[in-house]
Structure 1
Amino acid sequence: MTRWLIVFCDAKAAPGNARLSLRDHMIEIMFRRMRPGFGHCFAARPLPGGPWLVVEPLSVGLDVHIASADFPHWFDGELAAGRFRAVWANAVRQVEARFLGLGVLSCVRVVEALLGRKTGALTPYQLYRNLTREEEPMGGFFGGAPKAPEPDTSYIDEQRAKNAEKEAQLERENDARRRSRRGRAGAGRNLLRFDPEAGAPASTGDTDKIGG
């Protein structure tokens, strides 16, 4: 039985200065409405000897290529960084040709065709939900675990904590500067204030009022 590693990730956005056709502009709008982390999906499976077969649906076609044996190492890095989510799925062996229906040739449709199933999913996230409900223990992504592990988001959490600490430190420094400026301004006003106890001559009892 053939099994595929179905990978889910964000779609690559077009450069900000790119001139898009109407079709590409509609695709960009569609991507913006996708759930974060589930804008795109592709499939991969190991081949004898170590390399991997990767099937990458693109908006302009289908990229099918052989990845090197270090694909698992690269994949683990993306997974640990929280940029990938993945599910192992078995392809359904059909005795006869099966019509999967008409529709837009999207990444979801390509993955469904590879698996020989019709899930009814329209978006990568819907496909992910469908496949995770049916997921079977298969020894983890590359063996060793009882089932495919959840994505490790510790790297992202660590970066968020560092950014929050930097913002808090910056706010403390700005607050200290504001207090310092207020202190200097207050000291300047004190120097200009007339202090009769310190600077005025003692009164002799005489007055300069006329008729006093």
Structure 2
Amino acid sequence: MDDTNLITIGCRHAPGIRLRVSEWFKTPGLDEPQLREIAIYDLAGSGQHNGEPGNGSLPGYTKIPAEHWEKWKALNGHSDLYASGTLFEAKGGEDAPEAPQLTAEEEREKANAEAQRLAEKQAQLAADAAARAAEEAQAEADRAAKAAAEQQATAGQGGGDGDEPAPDAELDKLSDDELRAYLRDRGVVVDRRWGRKTLIVEAEKLKAAA
């Protein structure tokens, strides 16, 4: 670009702004003029003076052709971007970089690259979510398996009575009263709360010691 035809544009929008410059033109055979895009510029945002990130308090400065700035103002001078001072013609910023004018192909490539970046980010987020879900499912399966094992162990302990040896055949033939008499005759103080099982166990102890 010819520096004599460049002006410095200030931008207070943090991420910067893509400035699209258009103009009216007459198409043969059509009564109404048509609007066509003639240039695209990426303007540095606030805190990006000379293209370097800043603290967000300073506007970014970029040089573009004065003719294109006037064409943009002719169509957008009433917009909030201009009326609010978000975009303005800067008096300073002589050291601002020139904004490269993007071709249609470059704009498509830039848009495709951004779309690819977003797609990769979404894919990574989905993969992370799937991994977390798999970990949670595995943890739940482990907890269920542990609970089942503990329940089985408890059930096995509770069913131990069935593995006890059969009572002495001779003693088992005696009635409860006969078992009590058997124990008393051998000096055992019989608790009246003893059931048949306890009576037989005590009698077996005496018989084994005899």
What TM-score, normalized to structure 2?
0.38
Which structure shows the bigger proportion of residues in helix conformation? 2
Q: Which has the higher contact order (CA 8 A, sep 6+)?
A: 1
Tell me which structure has the larger Cα radius of gyration. 2
